[in-house]
Amino acid sequence: MKIRTVLGVCLAVAVASPAAAATNLLANGSFESGFTGWTVGQTGGGTAPVVIPYGSGSPYPGGAFGEAVLPNSVATLSPDPVGKSMAYFSSDTANPHSLSQIINLVAGITYNIGFDYYAPENGISNPNDASPAFNVGGVLVGCALSAGQPSSTPARTLINLGTSVVATTTAPTTFELQFKGLGVTAADFAVDRVYAVAAVPEPGVWAMMLLGFAAIGFSLRRRNNPEVRVRFA
């Protein structure tokens, strides 16, 4: 599967992505059923990715080493309509750890892809960065956000990472979310609402398309009807 990136870099914004309203091609993108539907890859050993509930103060693997991830003061801002769980990555030796599944893309269609991201305070204060990124068909589709002391990523803030790609062939394609620890000790992060959705044109675009189709239809009708004449007095 080949793809063409519409946006050269990821967009990192502390707001919900409008893509949530469309049909998600990814199963269990909010991890409400654990990692059901996902293939978990673990290269380099260390602590494996786990699914944790919002606000859990439990130690790993039931929480983010005692820090409540997405506590109630922040969880109310979550755009996730289906539950209160996140996938949590924390291994310093991840090279990378990954979550992947197969989705069916159609040539010529633009897809919005991305995920929500949250950096715990105790993880982002570690001396080395960690990097989440996503690949489609083995291709990095945008930049990877870095979290940790060397970076300026804010802690305890829900951020959406998103970009758009155009499929150039129709085929089953691997969507992969990756986590890389860039040193020991590296930052932690949690992700939620991973999505891959077909882009829907804006209402104004639809109106222009309909007008264009109408003009083409009128032109063809006149061309196929020799009795139509335009006369001026």
- Does 56 map to a domain? yes
Supply the pTM of this predicted model. 0.79
Q: Alpha-carbon distance 62 to 53, whole Å?
A: 8
Assigned domain for 88 exists: yes
Query: CATH number for the domain including 93?
Result: 2.60.120.260
Q: Is residue 150 part of a domain?
A: yes
- Give the number of domains in the chain: 1
What integer pLDDT is reported at residue 79 of this predicted model?
Answer: 64
154 within some domain: yes
All residue ranges of the chain with pLDDT < 70 are: 1-21, 72-79, 81-82, 142-143, 201-233
Is 232 domain-assigned?
no
| Residue 229: inside a domain | no
Do 186 and 92 form a contact (C-beta atoms < 8 A)?
A: yes
What is the structure's pLDDT at 41? 94
- Partnered with residue 63 across adjacent β-strands are none
Task: Look up the domain containing 178 and give its range.
Answer: 3-200
pLDDT at site 167: 93
Residue 217 covered by a domain: no
Is cis: bond before 59, omega within 30 of 0? no
Q: Which of 199, 173, 228, 44 is nearest to 112 (CA)?
A: 199
pLDDT given for residue 225 in this prediction? 53
pLDDT of residue 208: 46
Residue 181 lies in a domain: yes
